[in-house]
Structure 1
Amino acid sequence: MPDLCALLQPRTIAVIGASTQPDKVGGMPVRLLSELGYAGRIIPVHATAREVQGLAAVPSLDALDTPADLAIVALPVSASLDTMRQLARNGTRAAVFFTSGFAETGGDGIAMQAELAALAQAHGITLLGPNCLGAMNLRERVFATFSPMPLSGLPPLGEVGLVSQSGAFGAYAFGLAREASLGLSHWVTTGNEAGLHVADVIEWLAHDDATRVILAYLEGCRDGTRLRRALAAARAAGKPVVVTKVGTTEAGARSAQSHTASLAGEDAVYQAVFDEYGVFRAHTLDDFFRLGYVLSRGRRPTRWQPSAKEPESAVTPVALVTVSGGVGIMMADQAEALDLPLPPMPEAAATALRSAIPFASTANPIDVTGQIVAQPEVLLDAIAAAAQSPDYGSVVAFLAGGVGAPRIWPGLQDAVETLHRSGTAAPLLFSGLVDDEKRRWLEARGALVFREPAQAVQAVAVLARAAAQAAAAHAKPAVAAAALAAPDLPRDTTSLSEFEAMQWLNACGIPTAPHGLARDADEAVRIAEGIGYPVAVKLCSPDILHKSDVGGVVLNVADAQAVRAAFAQVQAAATNHGSPARFEGALVAGMVRGWGELMVGVRRDPVFGLVALAGIGGTAVEIFRQTAFGLAPLTHARACTMLRASRAEALLCGHRGHPAVDADAVAEVLARVSQAAAALGPRLDTLEINPLIVTAQGVVAADAVVTLHAGDGINE
């Protein structure tokens, strides 16, 4: 793990290119450090000035009496390499390069950035940038940035670390965090990432005692192993990671030579990575900061269980206390959508509420009605009863404008204070019109406050998921999936015919339809009669992956005469589809009788490695796109999660006279396919089984595609 201590906890900071004018790029860091309380030594480096903004300056790094922990470099790109060499001579441990004009400009800029990175690496200098906005440690008052945002005010000190590839986003996020009173520990922008990547900062924050939650903005990733290691470190430390990943189109996906390649586009692969490591994904800035607020301020429920509806989620029973029946229904709808149980109010508390307000609802939502204006104690008693009941893991109370009522607020304070001091009450979440002073008071006692009632309910699900992840972090690590001992394939092979692919799958223990390869029509008849009619007759050529597109598939062939005609048709398809293809014969396979079609596949992503997918299959797979993704090789548990997420599990439950199929056995096939793909190592390009037919006995592969990289394959 890169050591960021010199960057974020420096005792001595040299500002190279320091300006006497505080508002310039080279002047702003000096101003920020001087005015905002940095306690270490600040050394402006200026070629001619003996003093910069009231601080003694030196003409060059060589004039320093001691090495700087951190150098902030605000010089033109032309001076960057010489400056890095000076840093190396001086023994500087970390450097922030604001300078632009490197790889983002292409050409010579790429080469110059590579040389800058090589110099930093050779001399053990932690490099942030170039072309970045810098970094801050709010607790240590380290402001290695030229952004003026801190001059307008700082967010409160807190336990949220924020890292962004984009400087502009980082500056904006800093301002939004301040507006939202979201407590920050660190703020880092990585720019061109010649040295530190976002992943490195995440990994360091995962080990930082001052950070509890990590917010990250990603535009892309060049080193998948690095990011996976960082996310694994955060998960092991029990620290939630919230990511906003932009660029969610499929522009980065390869051409669709297979369904697997086209479906597993760039965003799907990132989502598989996020799912693997329990990342909370934020699609909007509002989500980004709301998740940060909930995860850093909210109390996690002690009662939770995995969600049956939403993979990668957990649920907790929740009490919805409301002064409005309509809003109560809105919150109940949201709870149901999130799979949050709504147990009825305990009988003793329900009896007391009905006794006080006969027309109140005690089911759940617990509606105390607008009568609280006259009887505020009824609302407070209902909240307290729910929070102290073992039936609930969280309590959400909609108060409308009641917090501002003079008769309600003092009583609410007493109730919340008592529950907070008990240490055993369920977490409280409030929704309503709450002014900033009252909100801060409630938050100081562990309660969360929202304007939007649905967001309060969503926060319950977020906290339940965080509780489950924290428990998993302290549990015994799961045994990682291993690759199978799959048969070797010829080194010069770049694709397998369907017959070769089916033979290879058989050897890996994956069930396939009975089949044989016919070189002529007579042999096709013999194979068909050995299998039993009806059969499928398919073109067998390593040059044609989608055989049905060229008329190379004939189904439900019922007798010998039809087999001969089918053989002639698929043989002609090999030469008539546009460019002549190699004809290896016809695959004759039994028609598998089932009632549903799945697809499973694995493809190699250039950044993250092997990615598996599973979902509804058949010819309409790209129309319905009911697929889920995971990093291969898959564990059995991950394969089960993917079947649920893709809705493919519904085909296994039994319907319209069809028997239920063992979902665990199907998941085992999916896991085995991914493990077989992993056995091919860097040679694998794509493995796809479509369809995987659902039958009463389980699932059977009826078609397969395997494409490879020649020789030893690509580098891992």
Structure 2
Amino acid sequence: MQDLQPLLRPRSIAVIGASTQPEKVGGMPIRLLGELGYAGRVFPVNPGADTVQGLRAFPTVEAIGEPVDLAIVAVPALAAPDVMAQLGRAGTRAAVVFTSGFAEVANGSGLQHALATQAKTHGVQLLGPNCLGAMNLGERMFATFSPIPLTGVPPVGGVGLVSQSGAFGAYAFALAREAGLGLSHWVTTGNEAGLQVADVIEWLAHDPQTQVILAYIEGARDGMRLRQALAAARAAGKPVVIAKVGTTVAGASAAQSHTASLAGEDAVYQAVFDEYGVHRAHTLEAFFRLGYTLARGRRPARWHSPTGMAADAVAPVAIVTVSGGVGIMMADSAESQGLPRPPMPDAAAAALREAVPFASTSNPIDVTGQVVAQPKVLADALAGVARSGAYGSVAAFLAGGGNAPRVWSLLEQTVDDLASDPQAAPLMIAGVISDEKRAWLEARGCLVFREPAHTIEAVAALAKAAAMTESAQSPVAPAQLLSVPELPADAKALSEADAMALLLQAGVPVAPHGLARDADEAVRVAESIGYPVVVKLCSPDILHKSDVGGVVLNLSDADAVRAAFERVRRAAGTARFDGALVARMVRGWGEIMVGVRRDPVFGLVALAGIGGTAVEIFRQMSFGLAPVSRERARAMLTQSRAAALCAGHRGHPPLDLDAVADVIVNVSRAADAIGDRLDTLEINPFIVSADGLVAADAVITLR
């Protein structure tokens, strides 16, 4: 892990290119550090001035006479590599380079490489170039040229914010200040010639002042580094919220030109986020709402169902409302978030119906507008469900009732009692609440929202954070080791026969088959496995056999097999012909595609979804990092809707979804066993039949 102490907790700072004019890039950091209370020493470096903004100036960093922890570099791009070398010789430990004109512009990559090389050679930790800098709110350290802190800073808190974009970072700083969201650190990484967003995330994961991490990214050059950072945050129990842009071809192109990052395929990034429990935000509003939720909300405790449901199931939510219509809206949101809504427990339901006979106890629990006349009904309902043990969280819609004196008095007492009860489910409220009352509620872990659906989203986010912390602490079973035969160095693909053999060894069910070198042998193979059969061209040079007429289906006798063999041999043309694969014709009621491909950023990525010849039309795919776990494989089946094919319909029997998931696990392990040589592994289709999944075709290409 990169030690960011010199960058984020420096005891001394040198400003290279310091300006006597505070509004300039080289002058603003000195003004900020002086006016906003930085307690360390500041050394302006300017060969043309004796003093800078009231501080003694030095002609060079060496002239300071002692090493400094952090240097802020505001010099022209061409001078930056030489300055970096000077910093290294003077013992400087970290540097923030504001200067632009590097890899984000044409012909700037060489200059950025020179800068990075000097930093690495001399052991200087480099942030930037083309970045807006960094801040430590608790220590009043402002290594930035943005003037925004002069108009006010957010409170010191437990949220660390890191951004590849300086403009986004500045805007996010201002929004955090408006929202009163407490920040611990603020870092922008720019072109990432040295430190990456991942390095900052990992350091924040170990920082005792940071409890939640917010990150804006446009891409990642080192996918494994990002995975390592997200794993560290999950292990530390610190939720990560990421705003990832570049989700479309146009967006990815813009990200490439903006920060010289590799945007990659968005679905793969989503698979990474799913793997490590990252909360993804698609808007700025959601970015900060999730930060607020995770920083101030109470996570549900490990939930054990009183009805015997699995203890690791999603904790249900109780929706308590004064409006039936809004209750339905919240129930719709809960459904989309996958949150169960069991009805109100019998004792609490009976008490509510006795007080308000026309109340609904089904969940949403509608106490109706009668709360105006009987405010105690609301308080009793909230306390009853929160202490019932039947729910992980409680979401309440009060409309404007929270500002009514009689309602507020009872609500205040109820929230206070629940906050002191560790067994009570956390409570969240939607409605119109005054700022003073909202602050009081938040201080007791009761979040407040205007939008009712946001209350349900907060419940889901806190439940996810709790679940990911638990999963990070659970032991992971070691993956099965497979032996892969040595592959020829010049091989670009495996034949289908070799691919099927490898899959069979990995525990993947494949159709009974055999390789035939001539027509007579094809007949013998067909008769040994039983008709009907399929005959397929076997050539490492032709991967998509049906495109050249190299697949013949539904063969029911010897004459048909002989004719098919000759047909596929002709289809090979001038390509290598290894023979024909004769396989049993598998019949089922659906087709699933399962594969693994190498992503340039994250390595091997598994995919699963609706298969067959229309796979590129429907694009119902879900991704996971290979080798995948059974839990992730199940999620992939559900997200891609492939699970629906296994559920049984129109007289077809349902399949064991765990067994289907295990097939995906074994495919991913086979790909992992091939290792660095693998480019793609594709099984399309897996036939969905009464016997489970059966691989009817396999393609493995090599690097």
Deviation at 1:449, TM superposition (A): 0.6
Task: Tell me the residue number matched to 1:661.
Answer: 655
Instruction: Sort the Cα spacing of 1:518 and 1:392 in 2 relative to 1 into closer, same or farther, 3 A.
Output: closer
Q: Which of 598, 601, 606 lines up with 2:600 in the alignment? A: 606
1:290 and 2:289 correspond: yes
Which moved further from structure 2: 524-533 or 458-467? 524-533
Partner SS state of residue 118, structure 2: helix
- Equivalent residue number for residue 256 of structure 1: none
For structure 2, list consecutive stretches of 5 or more residues without a partner in the other structure. 253-262, 306-311
Give the structure 2 partner of residue 523 of structure 1. Answer: 521
Give the conservation status (yes or no) of the 8 Å contact 2:13–2:71. Answer: yes
Q: Which position in structure 1 is the counterpart of 2:357? A: 358
- Quote the Cα distance in structure 1 between the aligned partners of 2:418 and 2:30: 47
Aligned equivalents of 1:543 and 1:659: distance in 2? 39
Amino acid at match of 2:235: A
Counterpart for residue 621 of structure 2: 627
**Cα distance in 2, alignment partners of residues 372 and 506 from structure 1:** 65
Q: In the alignment, is residue 243 of structure 1 matched against residue 242 of structure 2?
A: yes
Whole-Å Cα distance in 2 between the matches of residues 561 and 76 of structure 1?
80
CA contact (8 A) 1:316 1:461 kept: no
- TM-superposition CA deviations, 1:221-274 (whole Å, max 9, x none): 111121111111111111111111111136899xxxxxxxxxx97112112211
Is there any run of 5+ residues in structure 1 with no aligned partner, and where? 254-263, 307-312, 710-716
* CA distance in structure 2 between the aligned counterparts of 1:510 and 1:390, rounded to whole angstroms: 43
Q: Which residue matches 2:274?
A: 275
Offset at 1:129? 0.3
Deviation of 1:305 (Å): 7.4
Specify the alignment match of 1:691 in structure 2: 685
For residue 431 of structure 1, report the CA deviation from its aligned partner.
Answer: 0.4
Q: Which range moves more in the overlay, 691-700 or 606-615?
A: 691-700
Are the aligned partners of 2:85 and 2:122 in contact in 1 as well (CA < 8 Å)?
no
Give distance in 1, aligned partners of 2:265 and 2:360: 49
- In structure 2, give the amino acid aligned to 1:198: V
Deviation at 1:111, TM superposition (A): 1.7
Instruction: Please tell me the residue identity of whatever aligns with 1:486.
Output: V
User: How far 1:303 moved relative to its partner?
Assistant: 4.2
Number of residue pairs aligned between Structure 1 and Structure 2? 687
Relative to structure 2, which stretch is displaced further, 278-287 or 198-207?
A: 278-287
Give the equivalent residue in structure 2 for 1:102: 102
Mapped contact 1:163–1:170 kept (Cα < 8 A): yes
Amino acid at match of 1:146: F
Larger CA deviation: 34-43 vs 130-139: 34-43
SS at match of 1:111: helix
After TM superposition, the structure 1 stretch with the greater mean CA deviation from structure 2, 663-672 or 285-294, is 663-672
Q: C-alpha distance in 1, partners of 2:320/2:302?
A: 19
- Work out whether residues 250 and 265 of structure 1, in 8 Å CA contact, stay in contact via their aligned partners in 2: no
Instruction: Supply the distance in 1 between the matched residues of 2:186 and 2:192 (Cα, whole angstroms).
Output: 15
1:46-61 pair list within 5 angstroms:
46-61=46-61
Q: Identify the match of residue 537 of structure 1 among 521, 535, 555.
A: 535
Does the 8 Å CA contact 1:484/1:672 hold for their aligned counterparts? no
User: Is the 8 Å Cα contact of residues 599 and 615 (structure 1) preserved in structure 2?
Assistant: yes
CA distance in 1, matches of 2:561, 2:421: 79
**Cα 1:680–1:363, aligned 2, differ >3 Å: closer, same or farther?**
closer
Amino acid of the structure 2 residue aligned with 1:544 = I
Shift of 1:497: 2.3
User: Is 1:652 the counterpart of 2:652 in the alignment?
Assistant: no
* CA spacing shift, 1:585–1:88, aligned 2, 3 Å: same
Distance 1:440 1:41, change over 3 A: same
Conserved in 2, the CA contact under 8 Å of 1:603 and 1:612? yes
Partner of residue 589, structure 1: 583
Between the aligned partners of 2:577 and 2:515, the Cα distance in structure 1 is 12
Return closer, same or farther for 1:483/1:635 CA change in 2, 3 Å cut-off.
farther
Q: Deviations over 1:128-162 (max 9, x none)?
A: 00110000111111100011111121112111111
Aligned to 2:511, the other structure's residue is in SS state coil
Q: Report the secondary structure of 1:235's partner residue.
A: helix
- Against the structure 1 CA distance between its residues 430 and 95, is the aligned structure 2 distance closer, same or farther, given a 3 Å change threshold? same
Residues 1:429 and 2:423 are matched in the alignment:
no
Q: Partner letter of residue 597 of structure 1? A: E
Cα distance, 1:436 vs structure 2: 2.2
Which residues of 2 match residues 506-521 of structure 1 at below 5 A?
506-521=504-519
So what's the TM-score if we normalise by structure 2?
A: 0.93
Q: Distance in 1 between matches of 2:22 and 2:251?
A: 43
- The TM-score normalised by the length of structure 1 is 0.92
CA distance in 1, matches of 2:39, 2:346: 60
Counterpart-to-counterpart distance in 1, 2:110 and 2:443:
52
What SS does the aligned partner of 2:294 have?
A: helix
> What does residue 92 of structure 1 align with?
92
**Map of 1:430-469 to 2, 5 A cutoff?**
430-469=429-468
Q: 1:197 to 1:67 in 2, by over 3 A?
A: same
- Change in 2 beyond 3 A, CA 1:317/1:531: closer
C-alpha distance in 2 between matches for 1:196 and 1:371: 59
SS in 1 for 2:327: helix
Per-residue CA distance 1:535-577 (angstroms, 9 max, x = gap): 11222222222221222211112223322332333233333xx
Distance 2:109 2:344 in 1: 65
Question: For residue 486 of structure 1, what is the aligned residue in structure 2?
Answer: 484
Residue-by-residue CA offset, 1:571-612 (whole Å, 9 max, x unaligned): 33333xxxx433333222210122222221111112211111
What is the identity, as a one-letter code, of the residue corresponding to 1:30?
A: I
1:72 aligned partner: 72
State the SS of the aligned residue for 2:384: helix
1:374 Cα offset (Å): 2.4
Structure 1 window deviating more from structure 2 (207-216 vs 479-488): it is 479-488
Matching residue of 2:395: 396
The equivalent of 2:257 in structure 1 is none
Secondary structure of the 1:103 match is coil
* Counterpart code for 1:96: V
Q: Superposed, which structure 2 residues align to 1:311-460 within 5 Å?
A: 315-460=314-459
Residue of structure 1 in register with 2:550 after alignment:
552
Task: Report the Cα distance in structure 2 between the residues aligned to 1:585 and 1:285, rounded to whole angstroms.
Answer: 58
Please list the CA deviations of residues 449-482 of structure 1 after superposition, one character each: whole Å capped at 9, or x if unmatched.
Answer: 1111011012111111111122233x34313424
What secondary structure, in the 3-state scheme, does the structure 1 residue paired with 2:320 have? strand
Shift of 1:520: 3.5
**Structure 1 contact 97–131 (Cα < 8 Å) conserved:** yes
Q: 1:12 touches 1:42 (CA, 8 Å); kept in 2?
A: yes
Q: Is the 8 A contact 1:496 1:705 kept in 2?
A: yes
Q: 2:701 aligns with which of 694, 702, 707?
A: 707
Q: What is the rounded CA distance, in whole Å, between the counterparts of 1:461 and 1:593 in structure 2?
A: 41
User: Which residue pairs with 1:618 in the alignment?
Assistant: 612
Match of 2:485, SS?
A: coil
Tell me the SS of whatever aligns to 2:13.
strand
**Pairing 1:35-46 to 2, within 5 Å after superposition:** 35-46=35-46
SS of residue matched to 1:573: helix
SS in 2 for 1:43: strand
- SS at the partner of 2:406? coil
Comparing 391-400 and 530-539, the one that deviates more: 530-539
Instruction: Describe the SS at the equivalent of 2:268.
Output: helix
Q: Using the TM superposition, give the Cα deviation of residue 423 of structure 1 relative to its aligned residue in structure 2, in angstroms.
A: 4.0
Within 2, Cα distance between the matches of 1:564 and 1:637? 45
SS of residue matched to 2:613: coil
DSSP-derived class of the 1:407 partner: helix
What is the correspondence of 1:2-41 to structure 2 with a 5 Å cutoff? 2-41=2-41
Q: Is the CA contact (8 Å cut-off) linking 1:314 and 1:461 kept in structure 2?
A: no
Alpha carbons 1:360, 1:368 under 8 Å: kept: yes
Counterparts of 1:342 and 1:645, CA distance in 2: 21
Q: 1:423 to 1:535 in 2, by over 3 A?
A: closer
Match of residue 640 from structure 1: 634
CA drift of 1:277 comes to 1.3
Report the counterpart of residue 164 of structure 1 in structure 2.
163
Q: 1:160 corresponds to which letter in structure 2? A: V
The structure 1 segments of at least 4 consecutive aligned residues displaced by more than 6 Å after TM superposition are none
Amino-acid identity (%): 71
2:666 match:
672
Is contact 1:603-1:685 (8 Å) kept? Answer: yes
Q: Is 2:64 aligned against 1:82? A: no
Change in CA separation of 1:85 and 1:371 when aligned onto 2, cut-off 3 Å: same
